[in-house]
């Protein structure tokens, strides 16, 4: 099958110190051999990513983690039992074998075990750790389909093509070097789900100028079209709106005003399902971004579970 020869080729490129894009269940990643600083540097250059923003190291399974990091085994086993492979990155104390460039000089490393089949096969074929952030230009919308990756990098990067990302938002980043552990970025695994397993955790997701986790940066995930985020439909009445604009709704909503406007409406989930909202989120923002609208107005999704991760992204994507 073609996909297998593509995977063999992608692993070959990784061994040569090249960068490849690959699908994961969260978003597409831009990967390089994590133990080769020259290869990792290419990721930063391609993405125009500042060096202070560390990458996530992708491994095939939990057994490999102790080669690259130090951690409390019992805690990791408990998390693994419930969530791995899957959209959860664990920040652990790093071992010296991980180059400083990967971790932006931090003494910690974020490790993730992706669930996506193609990502798994690539990691297996390559055999080593793959450093990978999302396969987009720094600060822009994350890619959940290979066409989004192509839009960013064209032919400059080999893209392993897979299905669109099933989770659709980035991994949750959990720092397990603190007691209790700290969520540094909300993502594909909800805080509630983690707390159901570990008990109360801390959250430290507030943007600062020197972020511990740059998913925390105040402006991120931005479309090119100006985006405005509001709490509910009634807030629309108070806005000065252009004649034509995009409207992003979490679920179907009825309203009887703004008849004189031309609205391009998109709905994240027709069944009010938070997982589906996450899966559609970046994909719909990418699509709206191609329509040359002067403005997109988005209504926040229900602020529970994975919905909080979506709302975090909406806030950071909005133009202030
Ligand atoms: P991306 O995959 O594009 O979301 O980028 C990876 C993200 O992982 C970074 O922006 C950070 O938020 C986070 N990250 C990676 N390594 C660390 C670390 N050692 N400590 C805290 N956050 C990290
Ligand atoms: Mg990213």
Q: Three-state SS across 108-151?
A: EEEEECCCCHHHHHHHHHHCCCEEECECCCCCECCCCCHHHHHH
Residue 38 resides in a domain: yes
- Is the same domain home to 248 and 183? no
Predicted confidence (pLDDT) at residue 209 exceeds the cutoff of 70: no
How many domains does the chain divide into? 2
Residue 148 resides in a domain: yes
Residue 29 alpha carbon, nearest atom of ligand 1: 2
- Is the same domain home to 178 and 279? no
Q: Residue 61 belongs to a domain with what CATH number?
A: 3.90.870.10
- Is the same domain home to 171 and 241? no
Q: Which of 149, 214, 313, 317 to mutate to test the pocket of ligand 1 (most atoms within 8 A of CB)?
A: 214
pTM comes to 0.96
Inter-axis angle of helices 146-153 and 274-289, to 10 degrees? 30
CB of 84 within 6 A of ligand 1: the answer is no
- Is the same domain home to 199 and 304? no
> At which of 187, 203, 219 does a domain end?
203
pLDDT of residue 302: 98
Residue 81 resides in a domain: yes
- Is the same domain home to 72 and 107? yes
- Is the same domain home to 162 and 62? yes
pLDDT of residue 177: 98
Predicted confidence (pLDDT) at residue 18 exceeds the cutoff of 80: yes
- Is the same domain home to 271 and 153? no
Predicted confidence (pLDDT) at residue 181 exceeds the cutoff of 90: yes
- Is the same domain home to 196 and 292? no
CA-to-CA separations, 296 to 133, 235, 289, 316, in angstroms, rounded: 27, 14, 9, 14
Task: Say if CB 266 and CB 283 are below 8 A apart.
Answer: no
- Is the same domain home to 64 and 151? yes
Could you tell me which of 112, 204, 129, 125 has the C-alpha nearest to residue 167?
Answer: 112
Residue 78 resides in a domain: yes
> At which of 203, 236, 254 does a domain end?
203
Tell me the backbone φ, ψ of residue 104, rounded to 5 degrees: 55, 35
pLDDT of residue 293: 97
Q: What is the CA(308)–ligand 2 centre distance, in A?
A: 17
Q: What is the mean pLDDT of residues 19-47?
A: 98
Residue 53 resides in a domain: yes
Q: Which two structure tokens, joined as six digits, stand for 198? A: 């570990």
Q: What is the mean pLDDT of residues 117-121?
A: 98
- Is the same domain home to 193 and 249? no
Predicted confidence (pLDDT) at residue 208 exceeds the cutoff of 60: no
- The three-point CA angle 44-129-28 to 5° equals 55
> At which of 152, 168, 203 does a domain end?
203
Q: How far is 25 from 284, CA to CA, in rounded Å?
A: 17
Domain limits for position 265: 227-317
- Is the same domain home to 198 and 312? no
Q: Residue 312 belongs to a domain with what CATH number?
A: 3.40.50.11030
Q: Which two structure tokens, joined as six digits, stand for 114? A: 């992706």
Predicted confidence (pLDDT) at residue 216 exceeds the cutoff of 70: no
Compute the chain's Rg from CA coordinates: 20
Residue 220 resides in a domain: no
Q: Which of 57, 215, 220 to mutate to test the pocket of ligand 1 (most atoms within 8 A of CB)?
A: 215
Q: How far is 320 from 36, CA to CA, in rounded Å?
A: 39
Residue 222 resides in a domain: no
Residue 80 resides in a domain: yes
CB of 109 within 6 A of ligand 1: the answer is yes
Q: What is the CA(253)–ligand 2 centre distance, in A?
A: 31
Predicted confidence (pLDDT) at residue 166 exceeds the cutoff of 70: yes
pLDDT of residue 135: 98
- Is the same domain home to 291 and 189? no
Q: What is the CA(170)–ligand 2 centre distance, in A?
A: 7
Predicted confidence (pLDDT) at residue 54 exceeds the cutoff of 60: yes
């Amino acid at each position: 099958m073609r996909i297998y020869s593509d995977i063999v080729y992608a692993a070959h490129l990784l061994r040569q110190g090249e960068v490849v894009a690959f699908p994961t269940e969260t978003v597409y990643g831009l990967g390089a051999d994590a133990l080769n600083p020259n290869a990792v540097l290419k990721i930063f250059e391609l993405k125009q990513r500042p060096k202070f923003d560390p990458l996530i190291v992708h491994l095939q399974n939990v057994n490999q983690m102790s080669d690259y990091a130090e951690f409390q085994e019992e805690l990791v086993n408990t998390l693994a039992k419930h969530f791995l492979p899957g959209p959860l990155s664990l920040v652990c104390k790093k071992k010296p074998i991980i180059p400083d460039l990967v971790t932006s000089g931090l003494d910690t490393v974020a490790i993730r075990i992706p669930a996506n089949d193609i990502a798994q096969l690539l990691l297996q074929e390559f055999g080593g750790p793959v450093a990978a952030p999302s396969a987009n230009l720094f600060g822009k919308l994350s890619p959940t389909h290979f066409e989004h990756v192509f839009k960013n990098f064209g032919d400059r990067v080999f893209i392993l093509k897979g299905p669109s990302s099933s989770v659709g938002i980035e991994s949750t980043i959990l720092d397990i070097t603190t007691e209790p552990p700290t969520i540094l970025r909300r993502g594909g695994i909800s805080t509630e789900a983690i707390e159901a397993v570990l008990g109360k955790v801390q959250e430290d997701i507030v943007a600062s100028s020197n972020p511990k986790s740059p998913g925390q940066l105040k402006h991120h995930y931005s479309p090119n079209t100006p985006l405005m985020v509001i709490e509910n439909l009634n807030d629309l009445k108070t806005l000065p709106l252009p004649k034509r604009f995009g409207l992003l709704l979490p679920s179907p909503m009825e309203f009887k005003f703004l008849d004189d406007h031309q609205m391009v409406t998109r709905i994240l989930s027709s069944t009010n399902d938070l997982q589906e909202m996450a899966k559609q989120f970046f994909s719909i923002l990418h699509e709206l971004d191609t329509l040359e609208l002067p403005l997109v107005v988005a209504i926040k999704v229900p602020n529970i579970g994975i919905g909080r991760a979506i709302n975090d992204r909406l806030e950071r994507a909005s133009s202030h």
